[in-house]
Chain A
């Protein structure tokens, strides 16, 4: 059951990722990205990382993508007007390079894969484990991140407010 689900959603993720690049309209690209995020969330779920899966959906597919779509709508970005056909240069060089990169990456990952097969649901990525890691091992970066967010808010105010 699990491997079947894995292959289904891995395929969905790849197809959505390709669609993200191929689509001419930014909104459709954004939708494809949601598809990628959603299927990634399911892959996390298959591995047993429930919390990460939910966080992936809430943060990426929810909050961030809504803002993406929001900005696209506000800017009223229309269909991309690309040249009638991609240049011969891009075709000639791009496709072999892409295949080469894919080959290298899959070789590298193949080499690096640990011995033995991986069981689904082997990891425990529950809220408890994530919370414990955040407040012990990663306490410092976790706390600095709050400063990071503060700066981002500060920056938005400084750059966007009419009368400072």
Chain B
């Protein structure tokens, strides 16, 4: 290995490299070995194999860091870093990708668009997320972001014959490109300020300036706008409901969880790295955004009849909650963000899984009406959905409660009492619309009796999601320890 690509570089890059190579190999594999439609399921196995390798390398990183007593491993002259934070988030991405792949094959067969490229795109999007979470250089982060975003643009439009899917892809593409423009403008100003693209150099340059210095403020403002777009926080949320509704439901699940988790990882890197010194500037902005997100997300969700739209607004409000942890900014808050992201992953994925199962031949199954009487048709799914809804609402003993608990705790610790009260009030509003779904499932009569589209992958995925949602709620200790290791130092 040369001086430009050392052993450390290789080791740190390994998870991303594996994902990229397996992603590219999927395309060839699909083309050469499984050209026939009915064998495309094999690609799910292939993807899980890829994730197994990636997981192994992530595990190796954890042990390596622990064995050598390191907190981080820096590679590519400071472009890429492996620390607890990136390992934690990569586990989240990995779990998301596996679950999404498990539920996808049946759904895509029903939609008549089961192509191998889908799995390749999942892997490549995940490699983008890897660079987003592990990157410590503006260029690396931005390329990782685009890697993820372009994969998602394509996946959102994957149902090519469906006009809604096309429309969603178009809207997502346009607004995504628009927000990337803001972000890159902010990045360019940061580069202009510090003369370097490394986050540490930029942090030093921010620290050396007055936080209200106009050029620093310009960099901060444009970057923050771009970041808020990506996590779909109000007032930059308008793409989310349309994109979520039109996209194939499996992709919506991936988008609402994977993309959001990756964007939060990215957001934390920026806010706790370069922008840490100008906390006094961005804290009021973020408080406003978080409260607006909770307001708009929760209130707009009430009137939705489409479950995917409802969940889209709910995910906007969850983004608001997660931001609160960052606003508090102490260790509890950051731990709260990590645990909230983890919890949100499983409960939100779970909710989407049930919607995916509702999609059957000739039945779209996305309205709240379609859930009517689910208790009688598929009691198992109905009970699991109840768990997910309770968790999304944040009711003990589910995982959602743990997430919210840490966020509120951190707000109390740092004296943001008013914000905490507002956030708590919105939990009450959220319970209302989550229970509309529950009421429909348990109280309403059966509207149509077709059985749900269950497959082996679906059963496994639902079981895992529900199991973890309960497990984190009942016995949070190991997960809290995981989150503890993810703190950026």
The reply to whether A and B meet directly (CB within 8 Å) is yes
Indicate which residue in A112, A152, A164 contacts B150 across the interface (CB closer than 8 Å). Answer: A152
Q: In the bound complex, what is the Cα–Cα distance between A138 and B140 (angstroms)?
A: 8
Given A112-B215, A136-B4, A140-B80, residue A155 in contact with residue B140 (CB < 8 A): no
Asked if A112 contacts B13 (CB within 8 A), the reply is no
Whether B139 and A159, one on each chain, are in contact in the complex, defined by CB atoms closer than 8 angstroms, is no
Cross-chain contact B117 with A141 (CB below 8 angstroms):
no
The verdict on B214 contacting chain A, using a C-beta distance below 8 Å, is yes
Main secondary structure, interface of B, reads helix
Chain A 106-164 interface residues, beta-carbon cutoff 8 Å to B: 107-109, 111-112, 135-141, 144-145, 147-148, 150-152, 154-155, 157-159, 164
Query: How far, in angstroms, from A137 to B213 measured CA to CA in the complex?
Result: 29
B145-199 at interface with A (beta carbon < 8 Å): 146-147, 150-151, 153-154, 157-158, 160, 169, 192-193
Which single residue of chain B is at the shortest CB-CB distance from A138?
Answer: B139
Chain A interface residue count, Cβ-Cβ cutoff 8 angstroms: 26
Residues of B within 8 A of A152 (CB): 150
> Could you tell me if B76 and A155 are in contact, using CB atoms closer than 8 angstroms?
no
Interface size in chain B (residues, C-beta < 8 A): 40
Interface of A is mostly: helix
Most chain B Cβ neighbours within 10 Å, of A111, A144, A150, A157: A144
Evaluate contact between A140 and B79: CB separation under 8 angstroms: yes
- A13: min CB distance to chain B, Å: 17
Is B131's CB under 8 angstroms from A144's CB?
A: yes
Q: Given A141-B79, A154-B27, A158-B115, do A147 and B150 touch, yes or no (CB 8 Å)?
A: no
B80: shortest Cβ distance to chain A, in Å?
6
CA distance A144 to B140 in the complex (A): 8
Flag whether B20 is at the interface (Cβ < 8 A). yes
B387 contacts partner chain A, Cβ-Cβ < 8 Å = no
Select the residue from A108, A145, A148, A152 with max chain B CB neighbours within 10 A.
Answer: A148
Pick the contact of B218 from A108, A155, A164 — CB < 8 Å?
Answer: A108
B127 interface residue per 8 A CB criterion: yes
**Nearest residue, chain A, Cβ from B5:** A139
Q: Is B77 an interface residue (CB 8 A)?
A: yes
Within 8 A of B (CB), among A84-113: 104, 107-109, 111-112
A interface list, Cβ under 8 A from B = 104, 107-109, 111-112, 135-141, 144-145, 147-148, 150-152, 154-155, 157-159, 164
